[in-house]
């Protein structure tokens, strides 16, 4: 009997995509489901970016592309990093991939040998753990709860480092918490990394344009760390281009070369049309992004206001991204109509089946006491969803 590989058998399904699929199935069955499970801006790609893609088609951008990306796009990324982040890179330190997801995977495959350890703060984005497993690495998770704004301390970081530590992988702004490491907090972590010069730092900055208070900072901005930091970013969140699949890294040259070598063997270069749209996104007006951020901030304030009226949940006020990540553990051990809620997965399914709202269990993010929901949808749907959540939770006794 034919069987899949152990690699696939041991791979967990993406819980965010699984919950989105479950909610779609219930919708097909005729139920009115409000889907707050998926992490995608509910905005269309700005017109000037779409026009650039149409022009690229007319100009016959229909052939294979250079593995690391068109020089025009990589130059636009270099200029963006200098203009917005104060970071200087050469063209050959930039590698464009099929979304930031592939960018992260490329780096992990390029630097990890079997059983190398990767330190990952929790809560973490759902795919980090599985990506490390696929690269035959080992994960060492550091937990940071809502009481510390879901951010690790320097002491926690140093305690996790061992002689097998090869890399550190984190996001700021964070998915799923919306938390942002300040310049001062990053400086404290940087001082720890200074003691351990062989650790590679993967800094996932995909939500950098969706920040409501403070400003975005990168560990790559510390000169003594820059040759060990891989900046990971893309166009999905900040430019409403999720379906275009354009991500990139800015990395030490040896890592960029390794990622290009790897990518050349299993996907080659990114779609030519998407790349030319990316040039327009990075070189064009940032105004559509700023307008989108204003809407997200208004929704953040709305969600925080309403959620604060729901008994038994505890959350931080997210300063970036578009998620709320409440601690809902006070409802564990309760039940309704012979349905027992023993953890966040049970609670997420209860909210889906009883409240008709799709969320994602915190277990997928390394924080089993929480659930995540996205506020990347209309005010009306958010108001109704939170009303349903509050009502459903009130039934648990």
Instruction: Report the percent of the chain where pLDDT is more than 70.
Output: 100
370 and 344 Cβ atoms separated by less than 8 Å: yes
* Mean of pLDDT over the chain: 96
The residues, ordered by sequence, that sit 6+ positions from 379 with a Cβ below 8 Å of its Cβ are 298, 299, 302
**CA–CA distance, 16 with 119 (Å, rounded to integer):** 22
The mean pLDDT of 195-219, rounded to a whole number, is 97
pLDDT at 1 exceeding the cut of 70: no
Q: Indicate where the chain has its CATH 3.40.640.10 domain(s).
A: 49-283
Q: Which residue has the tokens 């995608």?
A: 40
Q: What is the pLDDT of residues 260-277, one digit of tens each?
A: 999 999 999 999 999 999
pLDDT-derived band at 310, boundaries 50, 70, 90: very high
pLDDT-derived band at 38, boundaries 50, 70, 90: confident
Q: What is the pLDDT of residues 351-388, one digit of tens each?
A: 999 999 999 999 999 999 999 999 999 999 999 999 99
Give strand pairing partners of 361.
Answer: 371
CA-atom Rg of the chain in angstroms: 21
pLDDT at 22 exceeding the cut of 90: no
Terminal Cα-to-Cα distance of the chain (whole angstroms): 48
Helix (H) or strand (E) holding 96: strand 94-97
The mean pLDDT of 283-307, rounded to a whole number, is 98
**CA–CA distance, 3 with 86 (Å, rounded to integer):** 50
111 and 201 Cβ atoms separated by less than 8 Å: no
Structure token digits, residue 215: 């400003």
Structure token digits, residue 332: 């564990």
Q: What is the pLDDT of residues 238-253, one digit of tens each?
A: 999 999 999 999 999 9
What pLDDT, on a 0 to 100 scale, did the predictor assign at position 351?
Answer: 96
368 and 360 Cβ atoms separated by less than 8 Å: no
Reduce the DSSP state of residue 103 to 3 states and report it: helix
- Where would I find the H helices in 59-112? 71-85, 100-111
Q: What is the pLDDT of residues 152-176, one digit of tens each?
A: 999 999 999 999 999 999 999 999 9
Q: Indicate where the chain has its CATH 3.90.1150.10 domain(s).
A: 6-44+288-394
What is the distance of C-alpha 314 from the center of its chain?
A: 22
**CA–CA distance, 201 with 203 (Å, rounded to integer):** 6
Q: What is the pLDDT of residues 75-119, one digit of tens each?
A: 999 999 999 999 999 999 999 999 999 999 999 999 999 999 999
Strand pairing category for 334-336 and 339-341 = antiparallel
pLDDT at 39 exceeding the cut of 90: no
CATH topology of domain 49-283: 3.40.640
Question: Out of 4-8, 314-318, 320-324, which region has the weakest mean confidence (pLDDT)?
Answer: 4-8
pLDDT-derived band at 282, boundaries 50, 70, 90: very high
pLDDT-derived band at 69, boundaries 50, 70, 90: very high
What pLDDT, on a 0 to 100 scale, did the predictor assign at position 90?
Answer: 98
pLDDT at 23 exceeding the cut of 90: no
**Domain 6-44+288-394 carries which CATH code?**
3.90.1150.10
């Amino acid at each position: 009997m034919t069987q899949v590989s152990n690699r696939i058998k041991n791979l967990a399904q993406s819980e965010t995509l699984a919950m989105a699929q479950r909610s779609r199935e219930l919708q097909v069955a005729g139920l009115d489901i409000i889907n707050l499970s998926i992490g995608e801006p509910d905005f269309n790609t700005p017109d000037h970016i779409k026009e650039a893609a149409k022009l690229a088609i007319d100009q016959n951008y229909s052939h294979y592309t250079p593995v690391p990306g068109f020089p025009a796009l990589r130059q636009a990324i270099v200029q963006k990093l200098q203009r917005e982040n104060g970071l200087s890179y050469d063209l050959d330190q930039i590698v464009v991939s099929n979304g930031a997801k592939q960018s992260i995977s490329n780096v992990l495959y390029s630097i990890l040998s079997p059983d190398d350890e990767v330190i990952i703060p929790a809560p973490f984005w759902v795919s980090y753990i599985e990506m490390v497993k696929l690269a035959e690495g080992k994960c060492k998770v550091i937990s940071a709860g809502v009481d510390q704004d879901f951010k690790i301390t320097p002491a926690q970081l140093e305690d996790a480092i061992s002689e097998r530590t090869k890399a550190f992988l984190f996001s700021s702004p964070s998915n799923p918490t919306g938390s942002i490491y300040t310049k001062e907090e990053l400086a404290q972590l940087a001082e720890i990394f200074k003691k351990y010069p062989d650790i590679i730092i993967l800094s996932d900055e995909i939500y950098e344009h969706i920040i409501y208070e403070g400003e975005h900072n990168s560990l790559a901005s510390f000169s003594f760390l820059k040759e060990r930091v891989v900046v990971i970013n893309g166009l999905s969140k900040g430019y409403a281009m999720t379906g275009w699949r354009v991500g990139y890294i800015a990395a030490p040259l040896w890592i960029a070369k390794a990622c290009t070598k790897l990518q050349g063997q299993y996907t080659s270069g990114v779609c030519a049309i998407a790349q030319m749209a990316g040039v327009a996104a990075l070189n064009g007006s940032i105004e559509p992004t700023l307008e989108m951020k204003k809407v997200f901030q208004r929704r953040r304030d709305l969600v925080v206001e309403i959620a604060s009226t729901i008994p038994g949940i505890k959350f931080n006020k997210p300063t970036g991204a578009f998620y709320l990540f409440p601690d809902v553990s006070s409802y564990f051990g309760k039940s309704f109509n012979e349905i027992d809620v023993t953890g966040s997965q049970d609670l997420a399914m209860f909210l889906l089946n009883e409240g008709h709202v799709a969320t994602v269990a915190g277990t997928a993010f390394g924080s089993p006491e929480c659930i995540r929901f996205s506020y990347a949808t209309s005010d009306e749907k958010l108001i109704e969803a939170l009303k349903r959540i509050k009502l459903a939770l009130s039934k648990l006794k």
